[in-house]
Amino acid sequence: MKPSRRKFLYLACSAVAIPAVARTAWAQSYPARSIRMVVPVSAGGANDVTARMIAQKLSEAWGQQVYVDNIPGGGEIVGTGQVAKAQANGYTVLFAAGAHTLNPSLHARLPYDTLKDFAPITLVASGPHALTVHPSVPASNVKELVALVKANPGKYSFASSGANTQPRLVGELFKLKFGLDLVHVPFSGGGPAMTSTIGGHTPIAFTSLSNASGNIRDGKLRALALTSAKRLREFPDVPTMTEVGLPELVTGSMQGIVAPAGTPKPIIDLWRSEVARIVALPEIRERLISFGLEPVVNTPEEFDAWIKTEIAKWGKAMQDAKIPKI
């Protein structure tokens, strides 16, 4: 090999190796300061509670504060958009929920690209949605609720965690299936929606089970159906939507963590491994299960494939319901 050729290969290899070493050193020093975990819904709901549990454990492990920043608005678009524009350095991440995979089908235009502007880290948990009613509603099952609403068109309303959320879409599909005149009342998150329904202001709520589970156990809400594929061990008396005639409503909410696109892979891998460790802790696992959630941790690649599948599924659901994009 000629000296010039040998020198060229050495310099080329060095040009690649030096940044790699620098990236490794950077990852080893991470985190060097506090980290912001954006939760794109209001405080008090299950997504917020789970995010805070994860953030606390991360803070303890890393010796740096991982703090939750609630940025509700626009069906999770406002907070999600802020993370999309944040520096890809591992110091801002998004605790994503159901709207992350719904919004691409719901909106004609978003201020970000769900697939291109984020680096998936891992799922944390998933769980079904629930049809719930205030105990004062004279309906103990879906058949009785449908008859009640049909006998009183326009009188009853249902709460959801927002106009552009999965629970709202589940409610709209339910209305369409049974031909109901049911008024939708959107809130800024699952917490406020539950507060309204528990107070009897919105007698019906479509919500993630994780937001409603404690209130169902306490008798503050009555669950009439779940969107799970089969009945849950924690709620064996609550039928699935398939059992009440809506097999197309086998859906679920998700909790997962994504970072801005371009975040270094060593940072992504560190987050994934640490979150996996935390979710496997008995106290965290049991807490998630008590919410009606299934703890799920996967790889960034698996999470990316899952997101793409969910986007396609919700797009078809909207087409079937003839719901136009906003």
At residue 33 the predicted structure's pLDDT band, cuts being 50, 70 and 90, is very high
Q: Is residue 21 very low, low, confident or very high in pLDDT (cuts 50, 70, 90)?
A: very low
48 has pLDDT over 70: yes
Report the pLDDT value the prediction gives residue 47, as an integer from 0 to 100: 86
Q: d(Cα 87, Cα 89) in Å, to the nearest integer?
A: 6
What pLDDT does 17 receive?
Answer: 40
Q: What is the pLDDT of residue 28?
A: 67
d(CA 205, CA 216): 12
The amino acid occupying position 246 is L
Per-residue confidence band for 10, with pLDDT thresholds at 50, 70 and 90: very low
The phi, psi pair for 226, rounded to 5°, reads -125, 155
Q: Is the dihedral of CA 30, 35, 38, 39 positive or negative?
A: positive
Q: In terms of DSSP bridges, do strands 129-133 and 222-226 run parallel, antiparallel, or are they unpaired?
A: antiparallel
CATH number for domain 129-249, candidates 3.90.45.10, 3.40.920.10, 3.40.50.1100, 3.40.190.10 = 3.40.190.10
Averaged pLDDT, 14-27: 43
Give the CATH fold of the 33-126+252-320 domain: D-Maltodextrin-Binding Protein; domain 2 (3.40.190)
Q: Do 121 and 252 touch, CB atoms closer than 8 A?
A: no
Higher-confidence position of 231 and 4: 231
What is the pLDDT averaged over residues 94-115? Answer: 91
N-terminal to C-terminal alpha carbon distance within the chain: 63
Residue 185's pLDDT band (boundaries 50, 70, 90)?
Answer: very high
Confidence of residue 22 (pLDDT cuts 50, 70, 90): very low
pLDDT of 1 higher than 50: no
Mean pLDDT within 305-313: 90
pLDDT at residue 224, rounded to an integer? 97
Burial 23-42 (b: 16+ CB within 10 A, else e): eeeebeebbeeebbbbbbbb
Query: What residues form DSSP beta bridges with 225?
Result: 131
Q: Tell me what pLDDT residue 87 has.
A: 97
- For residue 228, give the 3-state DSSP assignment: coil
Q: What is the distance between the alpha carbons of residues 295 and 122, in angstroms, rounded to a whole number?
A: 11
106 vs 257, residue with greater confidence: 257
β partners of residue 93 = 37
Residue 6 has pLDDT above 70, yes or no: no
Average pLDDT estimate for 56-78: 94
- What the block records as the tokens of 226 is 């779940």
Q: Please check whether the two domains, 33-126+252-320 and 129-249, share a CATH topology.
A: yes
Q: What is the chain's mean pLDDT, rounded? A: 87
123 neighbors 129 (Cβ within 8 angstroms) = no
Q: What is the pLDDT of residue 27?
A: 53
Task: Report which of residues 234 and 78 the model is more confident about.
Answer: 78
**Where exactly are the structural domains of the chain?**
33-126+252-320, 129-249
Residue 12 has pLDDT above 60, yes or no: no
pLDDT in tens, 206-224: 998 988 988 999 999 999 9
Average pLDDT over residues 147-165: 91
Give me the DSSP letters along 292-316.
T-EE----HHHHHHHHHHHHHHHHH
- pLDDT of 289 strictly over 60: yes
Q: Percentage of residues in the chain with pLDDT exceeding 90? A: 60
